[in-house]
Structure 1
Amino acid sequence: MPRPASSRTQVRANDRTAALDAAYRPNAGVPLSAAVEAFRITDAPSLSSGSARALLRRPAVFWEQGCEGASLADLTAAMGITKTSRYAAFGNKEDLFRKVLERYEQGPAAYVARALRQPTAREVAATFLAGSVATSTHPGCLSVQGSLAAGEAGRTARDLLTAWRDRGRAHLRDRFRRAVDDGDLPPDADPELLARYVMTVANGIAVQAAGGAGHDELQQVADVAPRNWPPV
């Protein structure tokens, strides 16, 4: 008997999660082949298994060259597909960048959602910064490296990443407001300032990592930041 539509939708959502887990967390226990097929089903049915595998495993062109610096030729070569297939599956370069950013948000940058679930504001900050260290040192912070500075041709990607960073700060601010309401932060604490402080440290970590700083030394920076946390 065919599954009801709602059941099929849930299966597709579960497949998407499995694809992301396998693509960015190879030790999650999901075979890469399953991730490739799930990715093709949910996002890019026109791609072959090999092309989907290439995109899942090799979005590094944007990390290394930024959106503006990455040429369509480089991106097409990294995916191992023709220009026609790339355009049919992803549209133009900006559309492909949006897709990679979605992968990044749900894969390497999933630490943001994990941090927001921590029970105290201090643990939120510590988890957020530890995640920033891990992601900035491997594979790299896409929100900083993707298009921090760009010309007119890179404006779309720059604006997209600016909005993405602003959403992250807003999530932190809202979480810290709740901490004030719960008594986890003092009544005079400034949630917006705390959110901007955490984001500034995280962005600095990303810049240092791009310059060659290693995980251990950057984790020391992340460990220092919560020591300045407002006392309850």
Structure 2
Amino acid sequence: MPLHLLLASASPARLTTLRAAGVEPAVLVSGVDEPAVLDAARAAGPLSAADAVLVLAQAKARDVVGRVRGGGADPAPDLVLGCDSMLELDGEVLGKPASPGEARDRWRAMRGRTGVLHTGHWLVDLRDDGRPESGETSSTSVTFADVTDAEIDAYVATGEPLHVAGAFTIDGLGGAFVERVDGDHHGVVGLSLPTLRRLLLARGVAWTDLWAEPTETTVTTETR
């Protein structure tokens, strides 16, 4: 039987990424107050973008773990994964835009330039009562196309930029507006599979232990 992973995220892209990689997680969305978590972390000292996403990923995973232990998931998971993403541009950290106007301004600032998309991952092993938690941040450089004002207006009108960190996707309508990705493209989607694999290995879990049990399918191979 595969190990049972619970994804502490509402992101359809993260869920799709896992499913495409053979993992069928359950989903339980955290109720974390993200600004409050970041304010508390910054009270202890400066917080880089790479650290901020890890702090939020940790908070989301721990929030869901608390709910699971209170009977909030059936069946009980073996592992809980929290994630968070932010775009860093010129030292400024950019999450989801709050309005269409902010999304338009964001794109006018990003076009033709390169930013870094940080995605934090925090894994909690509910089978381990010792040191069950670990995390890692995936950072990938993203170069944006020199899009026109008309393209920006059309893209913002779709609503997609309002729901994603950095106001862009590479696996959706925004994909044509990304010229180059240097690093793990899965991290830009919102969940780095190589990063998750490393976190699993640190817990003694092979990546293949998460693969869902195969169903009977007929595969036809055609040679041209």
When normalised by structure 2's length, the TM-score is 0.28
Higher relative helix content: 1
For the pair shown, the structure with the greater C-alpha radius of gyration is 1
Higher RCO, 1 vs 2 (CA within 8 Å, ≥6 residues apart): 2
